[in-house]
Structure 1
Amino acid sequence: MGQILSPSPLVPELRNLYLEGRAVEIVAESLAVAMQAEPRIDDGAILTHKDRIKLQRAVDVIAANLVVPLTVEMIAREAGVSASGLQKLFRQSVGLSVFEYVRQQRLERAFTALRAEEVTVSEASLIAGYSNPANFATAFRKRFGRTPRQAARPG
């Protein structure tokens, strides 16, 4: 602040440019502090319109294919982005890897089916993509804070 109130002696044209530069610095620092106060998932990364479209395509592909085996390459190809680019988009916007997101979506679908009493716990584990019901139960409990059997009970 002292540099603005009493800048070094400069020719008038340079003095104004110097003061303008200092004012921009103050605004930039203020914005940085304000942005750090708000919780964010994306660590400051801003998605372009094209990136948002690619991300939405990937999310749509995942939603339409939750019951089939998926690969990052297949999802990326359908979304029009490279596999590493897709991983980066998911990390920036969702805070998860592509397969963490897929696993989460499958668990959500299994949870919904259990709550609606449409499936058994064994069937729900297959919906979630687990061949081992014990592994499914562990992942389910970690995600929802209750066992699949507890979620299947009415009430």
Structure 2
Amino acid sequence: MILEIESVKPQGIIFNDDFNIHEENDIVEIDRISYAAGVKDTNKVIKVDEIYLYYVNIDSEQGIDYRVYTDTPSLQLMFNLCANFLFAMEKGTTPDINFQFNQHNIICFPRLNSYSSWAPGNNQEYIEIILPLAFFRKYIPLQKVFNHFHSQLEREQIATLSQYNMPVTPAMRNILQEIIHNQRTGSYKKMLIEARIIELLMLQLEQYEMLSQNPVCTGLRKSEIDRMHEAKDIILHNLTNPCSLIDLAHQIGTNEFNLKKSFKKVFGTTVFGYLNQVKMEEARKLLLSQEHNVNQVAAMMGYNDATNFSAAFKKHFGILPSKLR
């Protein structure tokens, strides 16, 4: 498989201009930092046989457009850890997919260009794992819930596993961080990456099956699911001053009972659980900026006690905030 990644606007963000010359190697890892017109792009590309993984961390004062091309049909495991971007295929092929904070999905596409348009922002993180279809077919379950995806795979058609992007769980985050920061070398590094990708794929498929087969979730009307996404957007835009459940329910035109029940079925967590996920990610970004200490970030996230904040942070990320730097 040949992978090409380039920035269309602004030009000059380099991913892998020399990446494909390493085809003979079992595992290749390239790290880069690129600067272009108000953009700092820190990226890593890892190749393990026919598996590609790329990680980006972007600080940008303007929007960015990327193009991704593969020469063979493939599958993308997409994890938006902290960004806001639109993913699109070639015009007229399939609807655009809007990836927001803490969302993931699996997309199958034939050999064609795909594009992503990023909004301006700092500490935007995204990880994508590109698999050959043969690898994925080896592990995708045969349960009925995957039949439609199976049929599209066999026809090599553009397809998304889930109609709605699913929430990235702490377990998924931990696996992704382990892959990116893996310090092993040679065959052991290759074994760990392959094992973790299989585990990650299992968590994605397992979550999709759970959300799809839940009778309450499948019984929701599209308008109700859209309301829950509206509620999620309100949460994201009011982190420092979150509204009550009653107020949130009234803003989206429902009641508190339906909000709590439907939100959990759509996103796999409660309203306050989702709010906590977002706040922990915001806390991580603030700590990584090194402009605030742990006590200050704890206060900014609404914690009166830094010890309680540290405990919540470790539970979410598996590491104390004081060790993050």
Same fold (TM over 0.5): yes
Aligned match of 1:130:
303
Q: CA deviation at 1:54?
A: 0.7
Aligned match of 1:49:
222
User: Taking structure 1 as reference, are residues 36 and 53 closer, same or farther at Cα in structure 2, changes over 3 Å only?
Assistant: closer
Aligned match of 2:246:
73
Q: TM-score, normalised by structure 1?
A: 0.69
What 5-or-longer segments of structure 2 have no aligned partner?
A: 1-142, 148-204
Q: Distance in 1 between matches of 2:269 and 2:275?
A: 10
**For the Cα contact (< 8 Å) 1:125–1:133, is it kept in 2?**
yes
Q: Distance in 2 between matches of 1:144 and 1:109?
A: 12
Number of residue pairs matched by the alignment: 121
**Deviation readout 1:59-113 (Å, 9 max, x if unpaired):** 1111111101431111111121111111111210111111111111111111111
Secondary structure, in 3 states, of the residue corresponding to 1:70? coil
Higher relative contact order structure (alpha carbons within 8 Å, sequence separation ≥ 6): 1
User: Taking structure 1 as reference, are residues 135 and 58 closer, same or farther at Cα in structure 2, changes over 3 Å only?
Assistant: same
Aligned match of 1:61:
234
Higher strand share: 2
Aligned match of 2:267:
94
**For the Cα contact (< 8 Å) 1:91–1:97, is it kept in 2?**
yes
Aligned match of 1:145:
318
**For the Cα contact (< 8 Å) 1:141–1:148, is it kept in 2?**
yes
Q: TM-score, normalised by structure 2?
A: 0.35
Q: Which amino acid aligns with 1:101?
A: Y
Q: CA deviation at 1:34?
A: 2.1
Q: Which contiguous aligned blocks of 4+ residues in structure 1 show a shift greater than 3 angstroms?
A: none
User: Taking structure 1 as reference, are residues 125 and 91 closer, same or farther at Cα in structure 2, changes over 3 Å only?
Assistant: same
CA RMSD of aligned residues (A): 2.2
Higher helix share: 1
For residue 35 of structure 1, the aligned residue among 139, 145, 154 is: 145
- Specify the structure having the higher radius of gyration (Cα): 1
Q: CA deviation at 1:52?
A: 2.3
**Deviation readout 1:114-145 (Å, 9 max, x if unpaired):** 11223221121123221111110000000001
What 5-or-longer segments of structure 1 have no aligned partner?
A: 1-32
**For the Cα contact (< 8 Å) 2:260–2:270, is it kept in 1?**
yes
